[in-house]
Structure 1
Amino acid sequence: MHFLLTYDLAPDYLERRAEFRNAHLKLAWEAQARGELVLAGALDEPADRALLVFHCDSPQTPQLFAATDPYVTNGLVRAFHVRRWNTVVGDLAATPVHPTGT
């Protein structure tokens, strides 16, 4: 199954991220190598949110990621949210649903 981890970024996120970026990226690439993190990045203009897509069995995986992320622990993220995402279309969909009669 898929989970979305959404970050609400602090207003000074762009100015402060350089100090913590390598540690954040290390954590993210390690999660990707384990097969947990599928895709991640910040939204642009305005850079007020980031989205991370996880493929895992429970919400604890993205929750633990956020709890240890330097962006979160150093205040670059004001809040984070984890939600199950019911993916139904695409090669990576967890529960593919195809139209009937085709």
Structure 2
Amino acid sequence: MLTTKQWLLWYDVSSDYLARRGEFREAHLQLARQATAQGILKAGGALTEPAADSPCAAALYFQTDNRADIEAFVAADPYVQHGLVTQYRILRWSTVAGCVAEQQL
């Protein structure tokens, strides 16, 4: 059982996300690498509707007791700074099943 809080960072992305992300992708990935090295970012990636050919959102899974860690990630993310992310939410995730569950069923 984990004792560290779990979070999902949800990004809604712009309709021209794929066309624009190339310029900012390496800086975004470097930020993700840093958060991974710090031990707070566990997974992340784009989400695509089955019938679509471009991402509509992204989700990043964090483990940290400090919400400010995620807020700092968002503030530093070039995808946010340059409008590729149109809206974001930081959601507390109370897991009950799987290998990362806070509480087992």
- TM-score, structure 2 length as denominator? 0.87
Runs (4+) of structure 1 exceeding 3 A deviation are none
For residue 15 of structure 1, the aligned residue among 2, 14, 19 is: 19
Can you give the 5+ residue segments of structure 2 that lack an aligned partner in the other structure?
Answer: none
Higher Cα Rg, which structure = 1
Give the CA RMSD over aligned residues.
1.1
Contact 1:59–1:83 at 8 Å: present in 2 too? no
Residue aligning to 2:79: 71
* CA apart distance, 1:96: 2.4
* CA apart distance, 1:29: 0.8
User: For residues 65 and 27 of structure 1, what CA distance do their matches in structure 2 show?
Assistant: 7
* CA apart distance, 1:89: 1.5
Q: Check if 1:60 corresponds to 2:74.
A: no
Q: Which amino acid in the other structure matches residue 58 of structure 1?
A: N
Residue aligning to 2:29: 25
* CA apart distance, 1:62: 1.2
* CA apart distance, 1:27: 0.2
* CA apart distance, 1:59: 1.7
User: For residues 50 and 75 of structure 1, what CA distance do their matches in structure 2 show?
Assistant: 14
Can you give the 5+ residue segments of structure 1 that lack an aligned partner in the other structure?
Answer: none
User: For residues 98 and 36 of structure 2, what CA distance do their matches in structure 1 show?
Assistant: 19
User: For residues 96 and 79 of structure 1, what CA distance do their matches in structure 2 show?
Assistant: 30
